[in-house]
Structure 1
Amino acid sequence: MGIRNKLFVTFLATFLVLILAASGFFFFAFERSLSKYIDERQQAQVERLAEHLGVLYAQRGSWRFLLQEPRLLGRLYWLAGDREARREHGEGKRPDAPRHLTLLAPDKRPLLGPPPPSRLSQRVPIHAGGDLVGWLAYPDQEAIRDKLDRRFQERLLRFMATMAVVGLVLSLLVSWLLARHLVAPVTALTRHTRRLREGEYQARLTSQRRDELGELIHHVNSLGERLDQGRQARQRWFSDIAHELRTPLSVLQGELEAMVDGVRPLNQEGVAALEAQVRQLTHLVNDLHDLALADAGNLRYHFRPLDLDSLCEDALDAVRPALERRGVTLDTTLPPAPISGDPVRLRQLLDNLLQNSLKYTDQGGRARLVLDADGDQWRLTLDDSTPGVPDEALPRLFDHLYRVESSRNRDTGGAGLGLAIGQRIVEAHGGTIEALHSPFGGLRIIVRLPRGS
């Protein structure tokens, strides 16, 4: 059974239970109210009759007038408000004595009428001149309920039956509409997810709902957007990789063809040029492999206590000759900074950051590396001088194969993987990395890593 049918049956059963419960409660309450009303009406009618009899007894001095003419009791009861007697006998006819009333002597001995029932019998006293001269006895209202009351009760039952049928029809309609309304977005989500599974990531659901289903639709649309972004990034990633590999391979192929054709001599200089291209290609492939492992969470780390300042000194010693050749002034502030981390991966991070500054700092520029405490973290700040980075490029510096220069010229930049790999290394150590504008006019990289003992 589908969810629509389940909801339909659930709503219908709920409505039916509510209708039956409300009808039963209403009928029971009405029965009680009607019985009480008839009792009170009968009580008032008999009391009025008792008043009339008391007046007549005071005038006649005994019950002989009533015993000689029993129909007089019916006439008096009719005058006291007997609707059924009025309707059946008419205004010009004298009614017989009522069959449910009994006139009793003061000692409760029957004088006129049927014997009163032993149970469920009511007695109304008759007084004349302050003295008790008799009783009027009558049974409970079930014995004296007139035809009008019964017809009214029958009409009420028919009305309730009609309302129950109308309620059933309305319950069917409302249950179907509610089930359809609730299941409609679920059905739409099913169709939409099927389209996402088939690769239609641009498809979106439109909904103005503000409930949980509306929130689910919003999340599914966000999922489709992320999948579309992932597909575009994957396509761009493959295109960038192909571009990065094509350039050194094209150079190698051109150099080798030139040597084969005798255009270029096969000497030490030519082999060195080929070796440089192979080295660049190998570096690119290794970076791609490391980045793939980092994205998959398979890049291995071996954490141990170490001194981050000593690691920075070693990385600076390796890059100082290149900085001096370019005339770049380097300032450092490296206090002792114990940390727990992988020395190989952190050294790879530092090498990537320093090489990036070296490649993108003008001749005769300036760089500064500062290590200081920031709460429970160590903050490593690397600033360099011009050229700077546009505002729109700052958030994308850590993307795969992204370089600021549109020409993708390798004379100044690498493949655009160093910062992406560095971000994965920092995140694996529980830290953060961000790119800002440097006060020297270039780029500022801030790395925050948890402090060790």
Structure 2
Amino acid sequence: MKLVGLSRQIVLSMMAIALGVTLLVILTSYAFYFLWRIYWPEQACEDSWIPTGPEWVWMIGATICGLALAVVVAVNLSRRILVPLNSVADSIRRMAQGDLDARAVAGDRSLGEASQLADDFNALANQLQRVTEEQAFWNAAIAHELRTPVTILRGRLQGLAEGVFMPDESQFRSLLAQVEGLGRLIEDLRVVSLAESGHLHLQVREANLAAEANAVVDMVGDALQARGQRAILELDTQPVRCDPVRMRQALLALLDNVRRYAVPGQVRIQSHAKNGWCELSVEDDGPGVPEDFIPHAFTAFRRAEGARSGGSGLGLAVVAAIARAHGGHAECRKAAGGGTVFTLIWPDLPETGLPGSNRSGRA
């Protein structure tokens, strides 16, 4: 059996103790009888079952030396083992008291298991601290995003109740727009949170992605035209396996992002399937995403420096969540013409091959 780390150290230490005691007994016995024959030759040939006085001294001395050696080795080994274990225990107590910066000291790296325990605890502490910080950030971001529509709704309703505003169609449409915005925000939060917890289930089936994309473009076509943007569709009509409802949701989020932040011009929507992979991309004419923001493009509530406000900051996070639920990923890159290309990539696998698939329904 191959012994590594702490097990190896304990075995080697015990072997060292046994070897040391054995050598001590052998060497001291040679020395003892050598000295006995020199200084007490008249007693050297006497046979007796009862140890003589010098023999008692030798045995007691050898035992004490062996015990002392064992104690020294055991204390040294115990200290090396207990340093990381005590450090982990102390760090656990500090974290229980709310100190998330507590970290354990690995100590002697030759004790593999003990140092690995400290490293694993530190990794867990880092993850816990990251999750706690993200939770605080999400709470603040959600409160910030909800505050504006709720404030507007409250002000409008209070104005209607006090007769400041006339209860006409425009007022009700304004209120309805705010409620729809809240509904989209809640649904986006739901999708992202379900994806993060691994519970975003899909209804995967063979779908015509081109027909789904055309339906979405028809839905938002007027809004794009109002911004001076024109949709150009280059869609593969080959059926692919996906959740068409989620794909429409992802494409709608991408087009809403283009409508809010891209300049007037063409919006190219492309899809194709080859070599077992499906792609759905949206490309605009600019101004393009800053290079330093591209790694954070799909992070919730992150906006590029100088971007116009108005969105929830969750649209692209929803896109990435839907891509991951399909077993794929989302990409962001600069286009050759200076714009930005957002792409969903997922495997064209049977329903049971997708991590988030569910035959019975969606979460």
Output the amino acid matched with 1:175.
A
* Contact 1:337–1:451 (CA under 8 A) maintained in structure 2: no
Distance 1:438 1:184, change over 3 A: same
Aligned amino acid, residue 259 of structure 1 = L
Q: CA RMSD in A?
A: 3.6
Query: Deviation at 1:267?
Result: 1.8
1:128-158 per-position Cα deviation (integer Å, ceiling 9, x unaligned) = xxxxxxxxxxxxxxxxx9649669xx98996
Aligned to 2:277: 377
Distance 1:169 1:190 in 2: 30
What is residue 113 of structure 1 aligned with on the other side? none
TM-score, normalised with respect to structure 2: 0.78
Instruction: Give me the whole-angstrom Cα distance separating, in 1, the residues matched to 2:28 and 2:219.
Output: 97
Query: 1:289: which partner in 2?
Result: 190
Taking the aligned partners of 1:331 and 1:266, their CA distance within structure 2 comes to 41
Whole-Å Cα distance in 2 between the matches of residues 147 and 369 of structure 1? 111
Distance (whole Å) between structure 2 residues aligned to residue 438 and residue 289 of structure 1: 31
Decide which of 129, 135, 157 is 1:234's aligned counterpart: 135
Summarize the Cα distance change of 1:297–1:187 in structure 2 as closer, same or farther, 3 Å threshold: same
AA aligned to 2:227 is: R
The answer as to whether partners of 1:302 and 1:341 remain within 8 angstroms in 2 is: yes
Name the TM-score, length of structure 1 as normaliser.
0.63
- Report SS of the residue matched to 1:371: strand
Shift in alpha-carbon separation, 1:12–1:203, aligned structure 2, 3 A: closer
The alignment-based identity, stated in percent, is: 29
- Is the CA contact 2:329–2:344 (under 8 Å) kept in the aligned structure 1? yes
Alignment counterpart, residue 353 of structure 1, candidates 254, 264, 270: 254
| Secondary structure at 2:284 match in 1 | strand
Letter in 2 for 1:292: S
1:195 to 87, 94, 97: 94
Q: 1:431 to 1:265 in 2, by over 3 A?
A: same
Q: 1:273-319: CA deviations, max 9, x gaps?
A: 22221221222222223333333333332122223333333333333
Q: Distance in 2 between matches of 1:271 and 1:313?
A: 30
Per-residue deviation at 1:210?
A: 3.2
Q: Shift of the alpha carbon at 1:405?
A: 5.1
Pick the aligned partner of 1:306 from 184, 202, 207: 207
In 2, Cα distance between equivalents of 1:208 and 1:406: 48
* Pick aligned residue for 2:312 from 388, 391, 415: 415
Residues 159 and 269 (structure 1 numbering): CA distance in 2 closer, same or farther, change over 3 Å?
same
1:161 Cα offset (Å): 5.5
- Whether contact under 8 Å (2:332, 2:342) holds in the other structure is yes
Gaps of 5+ in 1: 1-8, 35-82, 85-144
Gaps of 5+ in 2: 1-9, 47-51, 351-363
How much does 1:377 deviate?
1.3
- Whether 1:447 and 2:344 are equivalent positions in the alignment is yes
* 248-257 or 435-444: bigger deviation: 435-444
- Corresponding residue to 1:162 among 61, 84, 90: 61
The 5-angstrom pairing of residues 243-262 of structure 1 reads: 243-262=144-163
SS in 2 for 1:188: helix
- 1:200 to 1:283, Cα distance in 2 relative to 1, 3 A: same
Query: Match of 1:58?
Result: none
In the alignment, which residue of structure 2 is the partner of 1:263? Answer: 164
Asked if structure 2 preserves the Cα contact closer than 8 Å seen for 1:436 and 1:443, the reply is yes
Query: What SS does the aligned partner of 2:287 have?
Result: coil
CA distance in 2, matches of 1:405, 1:267: 39
Matched letter for residue 382 of structure 1: V
Q: Pick closer, same or farther for the CA change 1:320–1:257 going to 2, 3 Å.
A: closer
Q: Which residue is equivalent to 1:402? A: 302
1:205 aligns to what SS in structure 2?
coil
Tell me if structure 1 keeps the 8 A contact 2:297–2:303.
yes
* Distance in 1 between residues matched to 2:119 and 2:168, nearest whole Å: 65
Larger displacement relative to structure 2 (325-334 or 172-181): 325-334
- The answer as to whether partners of 1:11 and 1:175 remain within 8 angstroms in 2 is no
Matches within 5 A, 1:41-56: none
Worse overlay, 349-358 or 201-210: 201-210
**379 and 237 in structure 1: CA distance in 2 versus 1, 3 angstrom threshold:** same
Q: Which residue of 2 aligns with 1:178?
A: 77
Code of the residue aligned with 2:192 in structure 1: it is L
Instruction: Verify: 1:430 aligned to 2:327, yes or no.
Output: yes
Query: Take 2:261 and 2:74, find their aligned partners in 1: how far apart are those partners?
Result: 69
> Which 4+ residue blocks in structure 1 deviate beyond 6 angstroms?
9-13, 154-157
* Corresponding residue of 2:219: 318
Question: 2:24 touches 2:66 (CA, 8 Å); kept in 1?
Answer: no
How many angstroms does 1:251 deviate by? Answer: 1.0
Give the corresponding residue for 1:389: 289
Question: Which structure has more RCO (C-alpha within 8 Å, separation ≥ 6)?
Answer: 2
